[in-house]
């Protein structure tokens, strides 16, 4: 750990400072970025893809990485069976991309967080999804790379699936880390604080209009028909969760990076908010699903 702690943050900081001096004033026009067409999902490993991006070229990022949860052998629950009284889609992911050794997962996390740290402007935000399986590792890597955590948000899923074994509590939340690349002595990240106080959501019993937003968000995990009608992803996030992140930390015209695009939910949310986006996804089936979803989505005020 010693050499990492000593060299990585310094190297990343020096690179960011060099790029800061040379950076253009505005986000590039939607013609492209380092050969990547904007407003598209690219079929590529995100670490390789991000390495091609210029430093400080991204306004904000939402990362929904593998949680490294695909363990434990066969699962007997039949996903096709509907449980009366429980909303939302529930699936246990069993995929190769989600099964790494602990050391491998740590190295993978260092690799993609380092790239995010380099490419996201200090005026922007990083939003990173997790559960107790991976959130501790991501938290540790953020601290190791001196990426300041702004808040830890609990996404409370009141309609979560019941615990079938009867040996644990019912898992009803996920963790979201909100961070920025500016550093503790250089806080420039955009936060729509006044707007956040005015926000209210019919489904969120914890957010009172006119009051500060808390770090517990009560957002049911069911998705609208328009979100799943063209196909589903086993860990698909509801667009209204991602929209809240964009409302808090982004502006129309910003460029969002989605390194783990999945079914493209982050990018659909960005399009609705009038933002540009760039996504990476390694599974061609999901790249195709993203494309179809994005073809059918428009800015909210269009």
Give the pairing of strands 60-63 and 173-180: unpaired
Site for ligand SAM in 65-124 (CB under 6 A): 66, 97
Residue 248 · residue 196 · CB < 8 Å: yes
Residue 236 · residue 89 · CB < 8 Å: yes
Query: Which of 121, 233, 240, 273 forms a contact with ligand SAM (CB under 6 A)?
Result: 233
Q: Which window, 19-27, 214-222, 245-253, 255-263, contacts ligand SAM (CB under 6 A)? A: 255-263
Query: Which of 114, 160, 221, 263 forms a contact with ligand SAM (CB under 6 A)?
Result: 263
User: Is residue 279 within the footprint of ligand SAM (CB under 6 A)?
Assistant: no
Q: Which window, 130-138, 188-196, 245-253, 276-284, contacts ligand SAM (CB under 6 A)? A: 276-284
In this complex, which beta carbon is closest to ligand SAM, that of residue 182 or of residue 269? 269
Which secondary-structure segment (H or E) carries 160? none
User: Is residue 175 within the footprint of ligand SAM (CB under 6 A)?
Assistant: no
Question: Which among 146, 166, 171 is positioned nearest to 67, based on CA atoms?
Answer: 171
- In angstroms, what is the minimal distance from the CB of 184 to ligand SAM? 29
User: Is residue 281 within the footprint of ligand SAM (CB under 6 A)?
Assistant: yes
Phi-psi region of 151 (alpha: psi -120 to 50; beta: other; left: phi over 0): beta
Please report which residue ranges of 60-210 form alpha helices under DSSP H: 102-119, 135-144, 193-198
- In angstroms, what is the minimal distance from the CB of 296 to ligand SAM? 15
Q: Which window, 18-26, 74-82, 118-126, 232-240, contacts ligand SAM (CB under 6 A)? A: 232-240
Q: To the nearest 5 percent, what fractions of the chain are helix, strand and coil?
A: 35, 15, 50
Question: Which among 301, 180, 186, 183 is positioned nearest to 249, based on CA atoms?
Answer: 180
- In angstroms, what is the minimal distance from the CB of 45 to ligand SAM? 4
**DSSP type of residue 225:** H
Residue 101 · residue 73 · CB < 8 Å: no
Query: Interface with ligand SAM by CB under 6 A: which residues?
Result: 45-46, 64, 66, 97, 233, 235-237, 260, 262-263, 265, 280-283, 286
């Amino acid at each position: 750990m010693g050499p990492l702690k000593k060299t990585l943050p310094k190297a990343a900081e020096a690179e960011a400072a060099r790029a800061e001096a040379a950076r253009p004033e505005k986000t590039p026009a939607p013609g492209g970025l380092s050969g990547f067409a904007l407003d598209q999902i690219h079929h590529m490993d995100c670490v390789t893809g991000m390495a091609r991006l210029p430093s400080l070229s991204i306004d904000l990022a939402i990362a929904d990485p593998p949680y490294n949860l695909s363990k434990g052998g066969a699962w007997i629950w039949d996903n096709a069976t509907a449980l009366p009284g429980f909303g939302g889609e529930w699936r246990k992911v069993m995929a190769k991309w989600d099964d790494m050794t602990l050391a491998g997962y740590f190295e993978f996390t260092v690799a993609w967080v380092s790239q995010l740290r380099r490419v996201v402007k200090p005026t922007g935000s990083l939003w990173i999804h997790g559960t107790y399986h991976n959130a501790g590792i991501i938290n540790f890597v953020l601290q190791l790379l001196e990426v300041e955590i702004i808040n830890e948000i609990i996404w409370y899923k009141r309609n979560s699936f019941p615990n079938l074994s009867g040996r644990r509590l019912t898992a009803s939340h996920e963790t979201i880390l909100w961070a920025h690349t500016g550093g503790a002595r250089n806080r420039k990240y955009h936060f729509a604080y006044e707007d956040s106080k005015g926000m209210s959501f019919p489904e969120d019993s914890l957010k009172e209009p006119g009051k500060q937003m808390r770090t517990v968000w009560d957002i049911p995990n069911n998705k609208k028909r328009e979100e799943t009608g063209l196909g589903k992803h086993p860990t698909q996030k509801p667009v209204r969760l991602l929209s809240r992140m964009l409302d808090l930390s982004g502006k129309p015209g910003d460029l969002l990076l989605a390194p783990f695009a999945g079914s493209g939910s982050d990018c659909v949310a960005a399009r609705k908010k009038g933002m540009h986006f760039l996504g990476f996804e390694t599974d061609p089936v999901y790249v195709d699903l993203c494309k179809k979803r994005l073809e059918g989505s428009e800015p909210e005020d269009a």
